[in-house]
Amino acid sequence: MWPLDLSFLWHSNYFWVYLLIRDHLVRNDPYYSRVSRAVLLLHRSRIQYTKKVKVVVAQVSQDPTGFTASSSSLVQSSFPTQPQRRRSESSIGTLRDMAGSPVIALYITICCLAFVMSKIIISFLLYKRWAGKRRIIEDSLSGGRMVVFRSPAAQSLSSKAFMKKTMKLSNKDIIGSGGFGTVYRLTVDDKTAFAVKRLNKGNKDTDRGFERELHAMGDIKHRNIVSLHGYYIAAQFNLLIYELMPNGSLDTLLHGKSSKQKPLDWPTRYRIAAGAARGISYLHHDCIPHIIHRDIKSSNILLDRNMEARVSDFGLATLMHPDQTHVSTIVAGTFGYLAPEYFDTGRATTKGDVYSFGVVLLELLTGKRPTDESFIEEGTKLVTWVKDVVKDERQEQAVDSTLSCFPTEEVKEAFQIAEKCLESDPSKRPAMAEVLKMLEQISSLIN
Ligand SMILES: Nc1ncnc2c1ncn2[C@@H]1O[C@H](COP(=O)(O)OP(=O)(O)OP(=O)(O)O)[C@@H](O)[C@H]1O
Amino acid at site 371: T
Q: In angstroms, what is the span from residue 317 Cα to ligand 1's centroid? A: 15
| Range with top average pLDDT, 83-92, 94-103, 322-331 | 94-103
Alpha carbon of 392 to those of 197, 367, 378, 389, 398: distances in Å? 45, 20, 18, 5, 11
Ligand 1 probe mutation, 312, 356, 360, 371, most atoms within 8 A of CB:
312
CB 276 within 8 A of CB 360: yes
Q: According to the model, what pLDDT value does residue 242 have?
A: 92
Helix (H) or strand (E) holding 183: strand 181-187
- Asked whether 147 and 136 are in contact (CB, 8 A), the reply is yes
pLDDT above 70 (res 95): no
Most confident of 110-124, 134-148, 220-234, 356-370: 356-370
Mean pLDDT of 70-77: 42
Query: Which residue is closest in CA terms to ligand 1's atom 1?
Result: 244
Is pLDDT at 331 greater than 60 in this prediction?
A: no
In this structure, which amino acid lies at residue 25?
Answer: L
- DSSP SS3 for 181: strand
Q: In the structure, what pLDDT confidence band is assigned to residue 179 with cuts at 50, 70 and 90? A: confident
Distance CA 338, CA 403 (A): 27
Instruction: Please name the residue whose Cα sits nearest to atom 23 of ligand 1.
Output: 178
Contact 200, 181 (CB under 8 A): yes
What average pLDDT does the chain have?
A: 76
Its ipTM equals: 0.96
Q: Which residues contact 442 (CB under 8 A, 6 or more apart)?
A: 270, 410, 413, 414, 417
**Sheet with 193-200, side-by-side order of all strands:** 134-138, 145-149, 228-233, 237-243, 193-200, 181-187, 174-177
Burial class (CB in 10 A: 0-12, 13-18, 19+), 185: middle
What is the C-alpha to C-alpha distance for residues 359 and 294, in angstroms, rounded to an integer? Answer: 13
Ligand 1 closest atom vs CA 242: 1
Q: How many A from CA of 405 to the centre of ligand 1?
A: 30
Instruction: Provide the pLDDT for residue 125.
Output: 79
pLDDT value of residue 78: 42
pLDDT in tens, 261-278: 788 899 999 999 999 999
Query: Which class for 199: exposed (0-12), middle (13-18), buried (19 or more C-beta within 10 A)?
Result: middle
CA of 409 to the centre of ligand 1 (A): 33
* Stronger pLDDT, 302 or 317, i.e. the higher one: 302
By alpha-carbon position, which residue is closest to atom 26 of ligand 1? 179
Say if residue 77's pLDDT is above 70: no
When pLDDT is averaged across residues 361-376 and rounded to a whole number, the result is: 86
pLDDT in the model for residue 7:
58
Instruction: Measure the CA–CA gap between 382 and 395, rounded to whole angstroms.
Output: 13
Number of neighbouring beta carbons within 10 Å of residue 56: 15
**pLDDT score of 321 more than 50:** no
Q: Which domains does the chain have, with CATH numbers?
A: 7-100 (no CATH), 134-243 (3.30.200.20), 250-440 (1.10.510.10)
Q: Ligand 1 center to residue 5 CA distance, Å?
A: 58
For the segment 301-309, the average pLDDT, to the nearest whole number, is 95
Residue 439 banded pLDDT, cuts 50, 70, 90: very high
Residues with catalytic function: 295
CA of 178 to the centre of ligand 1 (A): 6
Please tell me whether the peptide bond between 83 and the residue prior to it is cis, using omega within 30 degrees of 0: no
SS3 of residue 395 by DSSP? helix
Nearest to 272 by CA among 295, 299, 300, 303: 303
According to the annotation, is 297 in a ligand binding site?
no
Is pLDDT at 214 greater than 90 in this prediction?
Answer: no
In this predicted model, what pLDDT tens digit does every residue of 105-161 receive, in sequence order?
777 788 778 878 877 888 887 777 666 655 566 555 567 778 877 766 666 666 566
Q: Which atom of ligand 1 is nearest to the CA of 246?
A: 4
**Pocket of ligand 1 from Cβ distances under 6 Å:** 175-180, 183, 195, 197, 226, 242-245, 248-249, 251-252, 295, 299-300, 302, 312-313, 334
The reported pLDDT for the residue numbered 232 is 84
Q: How confident is the model at residue 175 (pLDDT cuts 50, 70, 90)?
A: very high
Bridge-partner residues for 185, per DSSP? 195
Is 292 in contact with 317 (CB distance < 8 Å)? yes
Of 247, 298, 300, 303, best ligand 1 pocket probe by most atoms within 8 Å of the beta carbon:
300
